Amino acid sequence: MTEQNNDTKLYAGKFKTVEELEAGYKNSLPTFQENEQLKAKVAELGTIPDQYLNPADVELDQNRLTALQARAKAAGMTQAQYEKYVRNEKAVQEQGQQQFENLRKELGEQDLNLLKDYVNKNFPTYTDSVKESFLNTLIVNKEARTAALNHRTQLLNNQVPGMNKTPALGYAVTQEDIDKAYKAKNAQPNNLQLRNNYINLLKARGEQKRAG
């Protein structure tokens, strides 16, 4: 019986021949490379980047993204955390927009037009963007909306016919306004309200001429 030789040389402590060593290396190379890539990815995701990369599938205003990046940096977010943060912000934005559209529909076209009229006539010097922002606030804030509509009704009750704006807001009383008020007064001689309206128009006209 031949005694087994325990001194057989093994390559890499495992392979008997160079060919086996090479074959084993080739077989293990893809796994090794995959592990290295995973290590690099883990390191990348666990590091606070100098500049965050925005998810390509998420569209947000650039100013908003800049603000989100600043907050993420202050909070020490990784790239993966930042991407989750941005997607959540987009979801909240879409949900808010949907709620706004629902409130707009519930309000109805008539009340919406009344609010637009109120904003345009009472804030004529505001820019269009400020007017739109104020209008949106009235749409979503029921208490503010009710107050605005009540105020509009109050202003209408206190105005004379033909005056859509007070002189302080830039309304110019025309001769046509006075003529209409005069005809209305003469058509109903006993109507004190129409008579007072005519007188108020004459006063407003006189103040405008003096101011001009």
Residue-wise pLDDT tens digits, 76-133? 998 889 999 999 999 999 999 999 999 999 988 888 888 888 888 888 888 888 889 8
As a whole number, the mean pLDDT across the chain is: 78
- Identify the sign of the CA torsion 201, 205, 210, 212: positive
* Rounded mean pLDDT, 145-169: 64
* Rounded mean pLDDT, 22-38: 69
* Rounded mean pLDDT, 155-159: 66
Q: Looking at residue 147, what is its pLDDT?
A: 86
- Residues in a beta bridge with 47: none
Instruction: Return the structure tokens found at 115.
Output: 């609010």
42-56, 84-98, 112-126, 166-180 — which is least confidently predicted?
A: 166-180
Say which residue the tokens 């007188």 belong to.
199
182 vs 162: CA distance, rounded Å: 11
Q: Looking at residue 87, what is its pLDDT?
A: 94
* Rounded mean pLDDT, 124-153: 86
Segment holding 19, helix H or strand E = helix 18-45
Instruction: Return the structure tokens found at 120.
Output: 């345009």
Q: Looking at residue 48, what is its pLDDT?
A: 84
Q: Looking at residue 211, what is its pLDDT?
A: 65
Instruction: Return the structure tokens found at 52.
Output: 């965050």
